[in-house]
Amino acid sequence: MADPDDAFRQHGWPGLRARLFHLYFALTRPMTLGTRGLIHDTASNSVFLIRHTYVPGWQLPGGGVEAGETMAEALTRELAEEGNIALTAPPVLKSMHFNRRASRRDHVGFYLIEQFSQTAPKLPDHEIAEAGFFPLDRLPQGTTPATLRRIGEVFRDEPASPYW
């Protein structure tokens, strides 16, 4: 049976770049920890997704927790960087996941955010190719399997997987 995540692996220079980037973090951190946020606009029943310049697929915004930073601080920073989104209430930690696709030591804290503001639409830059809100019943083609699993866990009460 084909691995559903295989279609989202980068090849060539972008894939090498992504692997080198992760290797740098693996060498500089004994364990990697990240955050991802499911930003839900309850008024339009839509979610905010991003598409990076260096990995394929639409996914939830987030990133690595830096030294001296809490998970909530990292999430706040990443949402501002990747979506011009500011939290107006504390995010809700929904689950923790082992990201075995990234390495044998990567974990991701998954948060639900329903109280936020967006200061301006996110314009493309060196990291984010595209970003925007999408209705739950019309997610963009190429939404990553992990993103679809997290959406299912929140909105369809599917059991939370221990894996990202």
- Give me the DSSP letters along 12-27: HHHHHHHHHHHHHHHH
pLDDT for 91: 97
pLDDT for 20: 81
How confident is the model over 44-70, as pLDDT tens digits? Answer: 999 999 999 999 999 999 999 998 999
> Of residues 106 and 140, which shows the higher confidence score?
140
> Of residues 46 and 9, which shows the higher confidence score?
46
> Of residues 146 and 26, which shows the higher confidence score?
146
pLDDT for 119: 94
- What's the CA gap between 38 and 142, in Å, rounded? 17
> Of residues 18 and 114, which shows the higher confidence score?
114
Ordered by start, the domain boundaries in the chain are: 32-155
Domain 32-155: which CATH number of 2.40.50.140, 3.90.79.10, 3.30.450.20, 3.40.50.720: 3.90.79.10
Under the phi-then-psi rule, with left for phi > 0, alpha for psi from -120 to 50, and beta for the rest, what region is 84? left
- What's the CA gap between 32 and 74, in Å, rounded? 13
How confident is the model over 84-121, as pLDDT tens digits? Answer: 999 999 999 999 999 987 677 889 999 999 999 999 99
CA distances (Å), origin 101, targets 91, 117, 126, 136? 25, 32, 24, 25
pLDDT for 17: 76
